[in-house]
Amino acid sequence: MTIPVFLVLVSFIQCGCFVSSLYHPLDPLNPTEIDQIRLTIQESHLGSLPNLTYHFVDLEEPDKEDVLKWLSSSNESKLNRRAQVVVRAGGETREVIVDINNDSIVSDHVYSGHGYPPLTFNELFLASKLPLQYPEFKESILRRSLNLSEVSCVPFTVGWYGEAITRRTLKVACFYREGSVNVFARPIEGITLLVDVDSMKITTYNDRLRAPVPKAEGTDFQSSKGKPNSSTLNDTNVGKGFTIDDHEVKWANWVFHVGFNARAGVIISTASIFDAKKKEFRRVLYRGHISETFVPYSDPTNEWYFRTFMDIGEFGFGRAADTLQPLIDCPENAAYMDGYMVGADGKAQKVPGAICIFERHSGDVAWRHTEINVPGKVIRSGEQQTTLVVRMIANVGNYDYILDWEFKRSGSIAVGVALTGVPAMKATSYTNTKERTENVYGTLVTENTVAVNHDHFLRKCNFFFLSHGCTLSSRFGQKEPVVMLVTDLS
């Protein structure tokens, strides 16, 4: 739903890191390349533009045809590396293509279409701090007899209702921490602030209603079990049943590439499976990733109607990717991969352990058979189901999306999404359901607390070698996605 401003800002590490010797044309941009891109932009005519900020930087993928040619030939020469860069400067959005081989700008144009690039962490962070300095907000807090030092504010995107949009804006809602680390459990209801992002100023302030702040007691979500003994973050490949060479993963009859970007998070590409009969690899998936999520809340009141989050386009699963906790987020036999992206200043940021890869022994049967019709024999055989999972977790505000790509020996790939975290909660004066005299657009989950009705829709795109399809899936709690396949044979 919202943004992990506080947690994520501290977990980023600015880096001047490694350069790998292995090469795949779909390798994500490495820190050296990210530095190079920033220097190229800085030294060009763009460098002197006012307030230059980087909103998105990613590999501009080579054409599929060229990648396929590269895959099927033993020619080791590298394909041209390019990056797509979205910057804002002087109130304009620019789309730039940078050639990384010769450090030049291939194209640059001002974008004038609908919408704005994703918000930077810096913008979200600054917006979250504005209310605490705003006199009318301070008065509202005082009138509610609350302590301003215990208030945390969270920026929300504003949705779109068909109006012409000419400014980048955010709405900010605030929460009361006192006595709890579960910020989202203690909303300060009734106050909405509108922030103009380019000038970073509050432009509209509305204190419309009051409701008691839900109690802190019983809201702590921290596990009493403590941290498990973390053991093996380093010995990447030992005894795990698979190998990782830079971004290429080999397991059982599979070989595939694992990439990462700020928008989608994990990107699986060029996945092939070995066909033992034909003694050759069969191409299964060219590229697969989550392309969007849509999380509309179904509460039409002033403080809630606009909460219609597109967690990927507005914030980014990659940017919300959390460092995985060994033995909690991933099992003991997992290996880890870091993710890199670009900060508002154009510098590389590292998310350590953003992806984990592990063999799953589910306890299920892959196949089995007993044959009693061979005279004098009972032949009983089979194999246990073992799969390989590539996992990331996007911590988008109150929600944590656990995203799995699971490879099976049978040649299929299953994509799973699990949701955990805490629900988005609204404060209400009701303490039990019998008191309720009006629609609260949700479920009263405890005194003074409504978990507001909403859906999570996830859209995943698979670009197969011969066709591609996107599936729209998963209302909250529904395990099997509703599948809608679009085929395009071009």
Ligand X SMILES: *[C@@H]1O[C@H](CO)[C@@H](O)[C@H](O)[C@H]1NC(C)=O
For ligand X, which residue of 48, 77, 133, 490 counts as binding (CB under 6 A)? Answer: 77
Give the separation between CA 126 and CA 405, rounded to whole angstroms.
35
Are the beta carbons of 37 and 433 closer than 8 angstroms? no
Task: Indicate whether 179 belongs to the interface with ligand X (CB under 6 A).
Answer: no
Where are any strands of DSSP class E within 116-228? 151-156, 169-176, 191-196, 201-207
Residue 255: Cβ within 10 Å count? 17
**For ligand X, the closer CB: 75 or 381:** 75
Task: Indicate whether 51 belongs to the interface with ligand X (CB under 6 A).
Answer: yes
Which of 27, 58, 299, 311 is catalytic? The answer is: 311
**For ligand X, the closer CB: 94 or 426:** 94
Task: Indicate whether 46 belongs to the interface with ligand X (CB under 6 A).
Answer: no
For ligand X, which residue of 61, 99, 196, 404 counts as binding (CB under 6 A)? Answer: 99
Give the separation between CA 103 and CA 406, rounded to whole angstroms.
38
Residue 354: name the closest of 325, 392, 398 by CA: 392
| Smallest distance, ligand X to C-beta of residue 112, A | 17
Give the separation between CA 203 and CA 99, rounded to whole angstroms.
40
| Smallest distance, ligand X to C-beta of residue 78, A | 8
Check if 311 is active-site: yes
Check if 23 is active-site: no
* Amino acid in the structure at residue 212: P
Q: How far is CA 206 from the centre of its chain?
A: 31
**For ligand X, the closer CB: 150 or 246:** 150
Which of 399, 400, 401, 430 is catalytic? The answer is: 399
| Smallest distance, ligand X to C-beta of residue 423, A | 26
For ligand X, which residue of 21, 48, 75, 166 counts as binding (CB under 6 A)? Answer: 75
Cβ density class 79-90: b for 16+ within 10 Å, e for less:
bebbbbbbbbbe
Task: Indicate whether 60 belongs to the interface with ligand X (CB under 6 A).
Answer: no
Residue 319: name the closest of 415, 401, 245 by CA: 401
Task: Indicate whether 102 belongs to the interface with ligand X (CB under 6 A).
Answer: yes
For ligand X, which residue of 104, 203, 243, 420 counts as binding (CB under 6 A)? Answer: 104
Please name the residues in contact with 231: beta carbons below 8 A apart, sequence gap of 6 or more. Answer: 326, 327, 332
Task: Indicate whether 74 belongs to the interface with ligand X (CB under 6 A).
Answer: no
List residues near ligand X by CB under 6 A.
50-51, 75, 77, 80, 90-91, 99, 101-102, 104, 147, 149-150, 199-200, 228-229, 233-234
Which residues are catalytic, by number?
311, 399
